[in-house]
Amino acid sequence: MAAKLKIVKYLVLGLVVASWSLIALTEHSDAGRRAERRAARKAQEAAIIYREERVQPRPKPRRSRPQPVRRYSPPAPAPAPSPEEVAAITSTQRCLAELGYYKGEIDGKKGRATWSAYWNFKREHDLASHSDLLAEPVQEKLAELCQSPEEEAASEQVAAAPEEVLAHVDPAQDQEDLALASPEISEAVPTVLNIEEEEPAPAPPRLDCLAEDLVTLLRRSHRVAVKSCERPCVAAPRGLRQAQLDELQAAGGVEWCRACVPISGRLALDDVQRIERAGNVELCPTPQRQLSKYGASATGGLRPYMRVRELYRALPPAAENPNAVAVIVGNRGYERLPASVMSHNDADAIYIFLTEHLGYRPDNIIDLRDAGKADLDRVFGSEPGLEGELARLVEEKPDADILVYYSGYGATDEADAYLLPVDIEPYRQVSGGYRLSTLYANLAALQVDSVLVLLETEYGRDHGPSLLPPNLPETAGTVLPQTPVPGLTVLAATDRGQRSLVDVTYDIGLFTRYLIEGLAGGADLPPTGNDDGALDSVEIHVFTASLVDLAARKTYGVLQHPIYSGTTPNVVTSARTAPAE
């Protein structure tokens, strides 16, 4: 039995081996057939390719032709300008120099100084699209602003003409032209014009008298006799009842004008006074119940600050003063308050005036725009007695004269007054503002010859674009030092929370405009100065305060009263640049 089982096991094993062999043989045969089919296909494809190559032979490569050698030839020199172009460029340079843009030599060449002057000129006169200074619109504008030598000679001949020649002038036509220029005034005063004079009298000065407080200051400082003005008046705002007008008059000491010709709109002070002299009348702008500070300037775009050159371009600049040091701050872009629209224009105008006319070197000026609290701490010192960047700048200048100018917002409380940095939180001046007491203490500690602080700012509770006429002081705190500090002079644009106003001609603050004019030499002339050839802080304050007060009343029909603090009149600069009488 065991033998049978063994035989069966071997038979089964043999069958399994035979099956594996058969399967392997079958797979080998299939692989061979597949290989044969692939080889056949490849042979067929090779034959097809061979036949195509025989029918369409490959193109022969082209031989590259030798390229000719190109020789470099320098560009032809620019043709020399014609005599007519040289004459036109010379005339343009002379006109740009007369307007205060060009400082170089009159040589008839389009040099860098000429192009820089023309670039500034075309930006300010809406000619930016004209790249050529000899373009016809540019030359027409220059001809409008400047007289050629031939025209000047003709004007001199007309001025010296005999009376029989001037007799042909038609006074009626002159009166008609004036009526067309200002129809409201001509209707109000149609018969008071006196145009039959053979030679017009020279225009009187803008100031023929001063306010009583300014007269007292001049007498104490310079012992000069100046005529006092009658109490100034403003027109009553529209829309207020008589009881409200009486209350304002009693509370603020304002005087309402009773006998004047009311006008609308805003005219520059010079234009108002010219009309008043021609018509022998007094004009008074009548403000609305709520008056906009900026007018069209806030939406229509500001005039370029470089126009302030008109205030001093005819005067020779002062020599460079290596001891003159300045800090200029212009804060416009407040993060959580309305923009201080004119502040950049103010600061830029002061910068070019100091560097171009008063001899300040740019490396002696710390110039800040949109300064935060950290910037003011860094420059002036964060606490009384802590030095800042300004102190380190004047360490090696014991004879330094320091000027600090600030344009932006301020605030006051019962304890102190503050300059507001652009990162201030509303109503958080105690923690986020820069204390004026700290500024005054650190400036007094510098121990230099003189320090002049100029504050083109307002310290009221509201910083919006509108004000309430007649713009009376609305706070009790003052921005001046509690007691005058020796060697430190402070001039501020407004008194106890008044709103500051804008000059309609130059789009800078009224205070800044007349400050520049006074520093250029006007403050030394009578009646505000003693005409001694030196400008001191009292003369500058009296000049600036008088004209700011007058312009505020004649342009806006409201009040603005700059204020002053100082112990003795500090000489600020030479007045040899003052215009000759």
pLDDT of residue 120: 79
pTM above threshold 0.85: no
- Cα 249 to the chain's mean position, in Å? 37
Q: Which amino acid is at 401?
A: D
Which of 44-53, 178-187, 547-556 holds the top average pLDDT? Answer: 547-556
Cα angle for residues 85, 89, 95 (degrees, 5° grid): 145
pLDDT of residue 81: 79
pLDDT of residue 357: 94
pLDDT range class, residue 303, cuts 50, 70, 90:
confident
Whole-angstrom distance, CA of residue 544 vs CA of residue 454: 11
Whole-angstrom distance, CA of residue 478 vs CA of residue 473: 10
pLDDT at 12 over 50: yes
Whole-angstrom distance, CA of residue 330 vs CA of residue 339: 11
pLDDT range class, residue 93, cuts 50, 70, 90:
confident
pLDDT of residue 292: 86
pLDDT of residue 171: 41
Cβ(558)–Cβ(291) below 8 Å: yes
What mean pLDDT is predicted for residues 5-22? 75
Positions of CATH 3.40.50.1460 in the chain: 299-574
pLDDT at 215 over 80: yes
The second-level CATH assignment, the architecture, of 299-574 is 3-Layer(aba) Sandwich (3.40)
pLDDT at 579 over 60: no
Residues 6+ apart with CB under 8 A from 168: none
pLDDT of residue 147: 60
What mean pLDDT is predicted for residues 446-466? 89
pLDDT at 480 over 90: yes
Whole-angstrom distance, CA of residue 296 vs CA of residue 188: 27
Please, is 520 exposed, middle or buried when counting C-beta atoms within 10 Å of its C-beta (0-12, 13-18, 19+)?
Answer: buried
Cβ(417)–Cβ(477) below 8 Å: yes
pLDDT at 572 over 70: yes
pLDDT at 205 over 70: no
pLDDT at 515 over 90: yes
Concatenated DSSP letters for 88-149?
HHHHHHHHHHHTT---S---S---HHHHHHHHHHHHHTT-TT---TTSHHHHHHHHHHS--H
Q: Look over the chain and give the mean of its residue pLDDT values, rounded to a whole number.
A: 81
List the single range of 55-64, 171-180, 552-561 with lowest mean pLDDT. 171-180
Q: How many residues are listed for the chain in this entry?
A: 581
pLDDT range class, residue 66, cuts 50, 70, 90:
low
CA distances from 462 to 331, 337, 408, 474 (A): 16, 10, 13, 10
Cβ(446)–Cβ(394) below 8 Å: yes
